[in-house]
Structure 1
């Protein structure tokens, strides 16, 4: 019988708790929660009073809120815990229920009995709630008459107390979360970017208003993976792949893709996201933005197209300028080889060769600065003897210095000096600085090249006592097309691109170059600093051949008749047997009856270009191992790659120098 009664009590208690949960679930206000729970429990236990209290941080002050009464006054208010006796305080802090069956005879209430009488408390059960070791809340029931409390009643009071606290905390967290989300949405909606968040798995769970206004789609239609529907079809795979990679690795996300605008246009955006991690480093959220960069992207595309057109124009300009230079250069080479005794002829030949070289140098420099400043030029990466670089650079500029009577001195370190880089380019850099010093220093002036070294650095200084620079010129001296002051006759010449080339090349060598001048007519000083490599031995210099060791049968195909004739005359003087054709069809016809060791083909031929002609000629029986040389005004790296792909063995740029031809033909041995 007792067992059956106990079972009925458990069932009744279970039903009570279920109904209590249903009662509290929709309630949000903390006071209403405690009041409803106190009333429900008080009526169930048939007590005089039931109250819930929050405990302040000092664990000594109680705030009684939910207060059910039945025939006794309300005691809602703020109390010191010791109002209910020291034993109440001790047990509450220890997390133990405080149970009094009759306050009039219980020794524990002796010191506070008057307070109990005033509050009409004769019997009491108070159950504390302990969280993280602290007394944070409690629930108490009072009886106006003595009462023997049952264990299941004390247990039920504790369960109700905890349900109240949990409901209040849950609603507090939900309320704070709602307020935080509202604040977050207010902040993100005030931002110009499209802001979004995603969960740890990468599924997007929020977009601010900017995205919906931008795309013109209903709010809430871009969650999960649905955002990809707004991405341009050509960009979807790349965008989703980059996002998946970041989610998988936890690395920051950054990419660009086009998003459909409400106008129907796809606009470029920059997408970025960072992971939000918890205290143990696990990703709990992703915070991201999309920024409209459409105008910037279009501007970049226009700039790229402009640069491409500029490069095409420079290549075409160089080609068109080199074509007429080719026969002039070949003719001057021929005259110099002919050993004429006529002094005037030799003098004119010298002038022509010098001016052709100057013109060719200007063309090469113009193309070179375009490649180098955009990082397109390929640099060798070998051990370079800086003293050899200095010797070659000084030799190139020495004629100009001697012409102006300059006093040129060099202060070199006795140590061996090596760097890593491109020997030819470093000679070009140093000769440029020496050439500038010679151009801008008055006749009889002084130019000094000084080399100083430290364990990790090489410093090369080119100083002069020439015209110097104003501060405004000094600030822009390395800018493209920047030049010093010019006289009306432009005696110094040049295009104003040399120093821009110097700066770009030195930076490509992981070095720096600086310019200094005390002012006009006070000279200038340029200092190059390069990383130093310690190397004990020096490599032997390479010498160029200057004469042919054997002769060849050569076919020249060029629609520029003057260029073909002068090149043929030059090759014949060097001892070769030469034939010429001015049209590719004629060359194809000749190849059926004549055999040649070397084919020199112009690329820009009519009807059949040089690439196709080389392919057809090489396919003829017996020509498989013959040598094909492209002779063209196009000399950029992509032009060389294209000629190699077409089957050419060598690529020479007009105007072709005699030494270059001799060196090439000697290689064939």
Structure 2
């Protein structure tokens, strides 16, 4: 018997289909016991059905099919539901079969053993042996039938679980392969046993190579220890695993990834598995790093701006204190005046740089388009940068280009560009250093190269040298300072001219080389001579009204204009200005824009409406200097728009050309 059971186990162990299991078991048992029929059936006790799924027959018909349970007799049903074998040695003489004897005769049953399979008290299956002649069934035959029936049930249930697991695994793989993320799972001990298709496509590693603990090897070397430590902590505590690390992409690059895993618990709360995902966050991570760097550069820039604006304030304050002492020494007064003028020009240049960057980066700058002689332009740029070069005792070598090199563009802006490069070279080169400027032609382009043997550019800074707020390390000998805006302006202006600018350096302390290329004009296009500057004309005294809520600014300007021979009145608020103008209309109005109660635009419109102001000149003097501010000034009736502080040379030129009323 035991050898038979071992053979049966071997035969049905690899089978998955329930029908194959029952047919194999029935055939082996039928032959072993020499019966004419052996059948296995599933029972639906609630529906009262008895379904034969497989049988073995020898000289009798198959009975595979569905029956009512009571087709086999009330005694059969009663004993089966009680978990007891139903044994009949001869159906013709057994009174328990009287009610179904004809049915037994039709399917050739003269002797029968049927054993039930009960699970949780329910009659769920049965197995039977049939003979078409009387047979005295032995106890060991009944016992063997019970064992085979139980094995069939267990094998069928195991196959159902296995099939369900296969189907579940297939669904799981289908779902995970459809997900955009990399999906993985591990056993309870943390050893990886599954990665989805995205993992292998992303990493490019062979299948199975990252199973177990092999996954850690494709992390960035600097992240491996932290990842192992964090994973070990989650395995020990059951806490959610979440970490950012760099994973080797199939391209060979390391990309930032968010790894996350949750434990899977059984009904008792024990961890049986971990399910995890990896999400590529490289673009987001790099954007965060770039944003932090930009914020850092912005903070450095603001600190530098405060420093650069305070620098000229110190000599201005000292000069003002000297004037306050009241000693009328003409030489001292001239010296103080020169100090204040230089420092105000310096502050104005700083503010102009800020405004230029704002206009250029927003595309609000308009270039003049005229033929520009590059040799003459370079000489003008050197003249602008010469004071700083001489102050730091640098040696400047100029290699001029061939005559007739011209481009079409804005001469003033191009001078600004080259002067910026020369000033940068002077700032970043130690005293007594070497600066070179080479102008040459190369095909259809002109090339301007500025070199120095100064502090150079670090490799990490080189790709960002033209970015806003970027500047090199500040050293104690850099007395001239700066805001880190010059090269941003250079690139923007050169780009607007259809050119390019590049920066090169062999590293810190090895100097730098900045090269501008610009498209040359066609040889057939003549160079237009620049108009000679107008000869200064004498200024006639005029009556002026200054309106500014900054009393100090208004009074200092009044004192300056009075000293020049003009008659000047001052009003600090618009309604006072309207009253003064109505009583005695002036020749010239100088109006601030940011006034209390009524802005300068509205004040200008109201003054234009008053009698006696026909032919009067209206000048806006304000801190607002954007393109839109100029449009608003013109609409409000202003003839000129000045940005504070007042450019006295330009103002005198306006007064010299003023017509008498």
Greater RCO (Cα-Cα under 8 Å, separation 6 or more) = 1
**Higher Cα Rg, which structure:** 2
The normalised TM-score by structure 2 is: 0.50
